[in-house]
Structure formats: structure tokens, C-alpha cells
Amino acid sequence: MTEATTQRTVVPARAAWSAVVRAGETLTITDLHGNQAVDFLAYDAHDTAVRYSAPDTIQAQGNLFLTTGSVLMSNEHTPLMTVIEDAVGRHDTVGGACSKESNTLRYGHHTWSQHACVDNFLAEGAKYGLGKRDVVSNINWYMNVPVEKDGTLGIVDGISAPGLKLTLRAEREVIVLVSNCPQINNPCNGFEPTAVEMSIGAPA
């Protein structure tokens, strides 16, 4: 990328992050250590009722997976962000965000106290007046969720590697919420969550 970087942040393992990305700016996410899922939501910064929509995004491109050229669509079927570079090749739209409730259901009641992505989304979203009803189906960058012909899906070992990046361009001013996934009960983070880097670049 040739843009001047205006903000660069290393997000620790299990932590939350958020930012306002202006129209034309880029957001680059770097998987610093490899095999780390990054849960992601985007909202119109001027009207948060307009937000990322998994069904609109999947329908618009006819694909469950995101990669270079994929456009993140809103619930009004308008573009929010576009993937302009991707070193991995496939990212998940259907696996959802882990929560205390889903952890308990999938992995047992002893996981109830474990931190989860929904907690991160709620903490960061509160800074912008967003609450639980605003946490919709999210993107999982770097997470490997193959979908079989019969609709069966699973969360398996990632296909990322240390240093791999993806870059999005904001098509309008957006609020971005990120949970650097704390999940330790399935392979989405290699059972050991690690740090990622977020970089906001000025328009080309």
C-alpha cells in the first residue's frame, strides 16, 4: 500500500477495537502471528441504523466467502466498504460471534465465564450509542468455516499465516467494531489467541 498511514494500532489478544473510517480511507488488518480470527461489524457513521448485512452481502456477490473485490453491503443494499487487497483468499460470513451463551451450549457450562466476542462488541459499541440489538451477524476475517453441499459447516484450522493482510476501502464514513476473537474452545484461533494490527490509511 502506498497511502500514508494515519493510525496504526496493535490490538492485543482477546481485546476489542473500534474506529471511524472516513470515505476513501483504507483499513488494513494484519494477522501478525497467523490463524487469528477477527470478528468485524460496520455501521454508517451518520445513521447507525444502516449497518453491515450478511444476507445483502452474500446475495450481492453470490458467494458466502469474502475476498478481493467483495463489497460489504448494508441492510439498505448500499455499499459500506470494499475489499481491495486480500492475501488469504477466503473469509467467513456465517460463523457468527462467540458469546457466553453459545460457548455454554457448544462447550459446556464451565465456559460461561470466558470472555467472548459479543462482550467486545457491546463494550466498543457503547462508545457510539450502540446496544445489544445493534449487534448483527458479523464477518469473521481469517476464520475458516467450510460449508458442505448439504449445508453442514464447521470451524476448522485457519488458512492464514503470520503477516498476511487484507485491506478494505470505506465507501462512506463508517464506524468499525472489531473483536480480536478470544475463543479457545475451537481451532479458529489455533486454541491460542494472538495480537493483530489495524492500520487506517489516507485516501490514495
Within its chain, how far is the Cα of 89 from the centroid? 15
Q: What averages of pLDDT result for each successive group of 10 residues across the chain (204 residues)?
A: 70 97 98 95 98 97 95 98 97 84 67 77 97 96 84 78 97 98 74 94 88
Distance between CA 202 and CA 21 in Å, rounded? 10
CA angle 129, 130, 133 (to 5 degrees): 145
pTM attached to this predicted model: 0.91
Cα distance from N-terminal residue to C-terminal residue, the chain: 9
Evaluate whether 169 touches 79 at the Cβ level (below 8 Å). Answer: no
Evaluate whether 44 touches 173 at the Cβ level (below 8 Å). Answer: yes
Burial category of 107 from C-beta neighbours within 10 Å (exposed 0-12, middle 13-18, buried 19 and up): middle
Give the closest residue to 127 by CA, choosing from 171, 172, 178, 78.
178
Length reported for the chain: 204
Within its chain, how far is the Cα of 30 from the centroid? 12
User: What pLDDT does residue 2 have?
Assistant: 44
User: What pLDDT does residue 106 have?
Assistant: 67
